[in-house]
Amino acid sequence: MATPRKKVSSKQIKTNQNDSSKTNRPGHGHDEHIHAEHNQTERGVAVVTGGAGSIGAVICGALAREGMRVVVGYNRSAEKAKALAASLPGGDHAAFAAPVTDSAGLAAMAAEISRRYGVCDVLVNCAGVTRFVPHGDLDALDDGLIENILSTNVRGPFATVRALRPLLEKSKQPGGAVIINISSIAALTAMGSNVIYCASKAAVDNMTKSLGRALAPKIRVVSIAPGVVNNDFIRSMDPQWLKEQVERTPLKRLAASEEVASAVIAAIKHFTFTTGAIIPVDGGRPLS
């Protein structure tokens, strides 16, 4: 006895034909690939110097979660930077050498970014150096340390801006391209790891104002000025010193790296009519 055939309605036949035509039409898979590539190119590109450091890594993560393609800039921490780039959500991230004291190296980085992405929407200048030297011990603050701090913390951000300016000016992001300089409240309070470090951050804030005027309207420039940030380096300090920093802060705690990163995101996404400004993340420390 023959097996009865299941009756198929004309509506079902039409639906099946439509599904088949979607799946089998020439170039369908190619169209999806183009759409995926288009979505990638719509995502902004952010470059973070010092990106493998304790604060820089958190900023990289925050930018990636906001949908940006992130370039983790490094000096000597190549493997750490590459591992971070590979771990970030969203894909199409990279780790490039960003030696902020070497203008030729920065030009090479800019060329790599141009070849891979064709644009830079956000630059976060997070690379920096310091060493604790009592402010009254002028002899301990030797010329080598002074030159290292100033070339990294002051000339470095300027040289990076100079190298990436043509790519920043190509940004089509809402509010235009943004440069974020990671500064410090030491610029305002003149209290920090050493005298020259404080001076270097004051110079960064002054540069933020000058560049905010010079690069407008295509590029906005903002300083983020944290207080003492509760990271591994700070936690290794003398417990009594740490206790004093907390007691001197009206909000009675240290800043978290995530709060610095949140300020970076806010400056990029929400403070779109802000340039040449210094945004504190300090728990009110200068008030005490």
Stretch 60-75: mean pLDDT = 98
Q: Degrees (nearest 5) of the Cα angle 131, 281, 224? A: 75
Residue 288 within any structural domain of the chain: no
Burial track 170-208 (b if 16+ CB lie within 10 A, e otherwise): ebebebbbbbbbbbbbbbbeeebbbbbbbbbbbbbbebb
Residue 33 within any structural domain of the chain: no
Cα dihedral 108/113/116/120 (nearest 10): -160
Instruction: Tell me which of 120, 153, 197, 282 is the catalytic residue.
Output: 197
Stretch 99-128: mean pLDDT = 98
Catalytic annotation present for 197: yes
Q: Which residue has the higher pLDDT, 172 or 175?
A: 172
Q: Which domain holds residue 151?
A: 45-281
Residue 58 within any structural domain of the chain: yes
- Report the pLDDT value the prediction gives residue 172, as an integer from 0 to 100: 95
CA distance 1 to 88: 63
- Report the pLDDT value the prediction gives residue 237, as an integer from 0 to 100: 80
CATH code of the domain in which 185 resides: 3.40.50.720
Please count the other Cβ atoms lying within 10 Å of the Cβ belonging to residue 131. 13
Residue 154 within any structural domain of the chain: yes
For the record, the structure tokens of 202 come out as 């004051």
The sheet with strand 122-125 has its strands ordered as 94-97, 69-74, 45-49, 122-125, 177-182, 219-226, 277-281
CA distance 283 to 250: 6
Q: Are strands 45-49 and 122-125 parallel, antiparallel or unpaired?
A: parallel
- Report the pLDDT value the prediction gives residue 8, as an integer from 0 to 100: 45
Q: Is the pLDDT confidence value at 89 over 50? A: yes
Q: How many domains does the chain have?
A: 1
**pLDDT tens track for 13-37:** 344 444 444 444 445 454 444 444 4
- Report the pLDDT value the prediction gives residue 16, as an integer from 0 to 100: 42
Residue 76 within any structural domain of the chain: yes
**pLDDT tens track for 186-232:** 999 999 999 999 999 999 999 999 999 999 999 999 999 999 999 87
Residue 16 within any structural domain of the chain: no
- Report the pLDDT value the prediction gives residue 40, as an integer from 0 to 100: 56
Residue 267 within any structural domain of the chain: yes
- Report the pLDDT value the prediction gives residue 41, as an integer from 0 to 100: 58
Q: Is the pLDDT confidence value at 288 over 60? A: yes
Cβ–Cβ under 8 Å, residues 273 and 222? no
- Report the pLDDT value the prediction gives residue 2, as an integer from 0 to 100: 43
Residue 245 within any structural domain of the chain: yes
